[in-house]
Amino acid sequence: MRKLVLICSVLWIAGCSWMPGISKEKKNPEDYLEVTPQPPLEVPDGLNADLEADPFPIPLIPEQPKPFFYPKKPPLPDAMYAKDNRNEVRLQRLGDRNWLAIPEPPTTAWPKMKQFFADNGVQLTDEAPDVGRLNTEWLEVGDDAYRDVVRTIVQEAHQELGLSSGSDRFIVRLEQGLQPQSTEIHIRHENDAVGEPAANEIVSLLGLQSVAATAERRLLNEIGAYIAARVAETTVSKVALRIGSEQKSVLSKDVDGLPRLLLFLDRERAWATLGQALRNADIVIENQDRETGRMQVAVSSGLFDGKSSGGFLCRFTFSCGSRGGDYSLELVLSAGPDDSFQVRVTDAEQVLQNPEFAQQLLVMIREYAT
Task: Kindly report, residue by residue over 151-178, the tens digit of the pLDDT.
Answer: 999 999 999 999 888 999 999 999 999 8
What integer best gives the mean pLDDT of the chain? 77
Same fold, 95-243 and 247-368: yes
6: pLDDT confidence band, cut at 50, 70 and 90?
low
Q: How many Å separate Cα 75 from the centre of its chain?
A: 23
pTM exceeding the 0.75 threshold for the entire prediction? no
Architecture of domain 247-368 in CATH? 2-Layer Sandwich (3.30)
- Residue 344: which of 365, 327, 324, 323 has the closest Cα? 365
H, E, C per residue of the chain: CHHHHHHHHHHHHHHHHHCCCCCCCCCCCCHHHHCCCCCCCCCCCCCCCHHHCCCCCCCCCCCCCCCCCCCCCCCCCCCCCCCHHHHCCEEEEECCEEEEEECCCHHHHHHHHHHHHHHCCCCEEEEECCCCEEEECCECCCCCCCCCHHHHHHHHHHHHHCCCCCCEEEEEEEEECCCCCCEEEEEEEEECCCCCCCCCCCCCCCCCCCCCHHHHHHHHHHHHHHHHCCCCCCCCCHHHHHHHCCCCEEEEECCCCCEEEEECCCHHHHHHHHHHHHHHCCCEEEEEECCCCEEEEEECCHHHHCCCCCCHHHHHHCCCCCCCCCEEEEEEEEECCCCCEEEEEEECCEECCCHHHHHHHHHHHHHHCC
User: How high is the pLDDT of residue 320?
Assistant: 42
User: How high is the pLDDT of residue 270?
Assistant: 93
Q: Tell me the domain boundaries of the chain.
A: 95-243, 247-368
Query: Please, are residues 187 and 220 in contact by the beta-carbon 8 Å criterion?
Result: yes
On the question of pLDDT at 118 being above 90, the answer is: yes
On the question of pLDDT at 251 being above 60, the answer is: yes
C-alpha neighbours within 13 Å on the C-beta side of residue 367: 19
- Residue 160: which of 215, 197, 208 has the closest Cα? 215
**CB neighbourhood size of 288 (10 A):** 17
Q: How many Å separate Cα 213 from the centre of its chain?
A: 26
CA distance 132 to 130: 6
On the question of pLDDT at 23 being above 50, the answer is: no
Q: Which residues, 6+ apart, have CB-to-CB distance to 287 below 8 Å?
A: 295, 296
pLDDT digits (tens, 9 = 90+) for 292-321: 999 998 876 555 444 444 444 443 443 444
CA distance 141 to 148: 12
Q: Residue 100's beta-bridge partner residues?
A: 91, 185
pLDDT digits (tens, 9 = 90+) for 82-103: 555 557 888 999 988 999 999 8
CA distance 287 to 321: 27
Mode of pairing for the β-strands spanning 284-289 and 294-299? antiparallel
Looking at per-residue pLDDT, the higher value among 122 and 355 belongs to: 122
User: How high is the pLDDT of residue 327?
Assistant: 64
User: How high is the pLDDT of residue 207?
Assistant: 87
On the question of pLDDT at 348 being above 90, the answer is: no
User: How high is the pLDDT of residue 309?
Assistant: 41
pLDDT digits (tens, 9 = 90+) for 237-246: 666 667 766 7
User: How high is the pLDDT of residue 160?
Assistant: 93
pLDDT digits (tens, 9 = 90+) for 196-224: 999 999 988 988 999 999 999 999 999 99
**CB neighbourhood size of 185 (10 A):** 27
User: How high is the pLDDT of residue 57?
Assistant: 61
Q: What CATH topology corresponds to 95-243?
A: TATA-Binding Protein (3.30.310)
CA distance 222 to 219: 5
CA distance 99 to 178: 13
Q: What is the mean pLDDT of residues 320-324?
A: 38
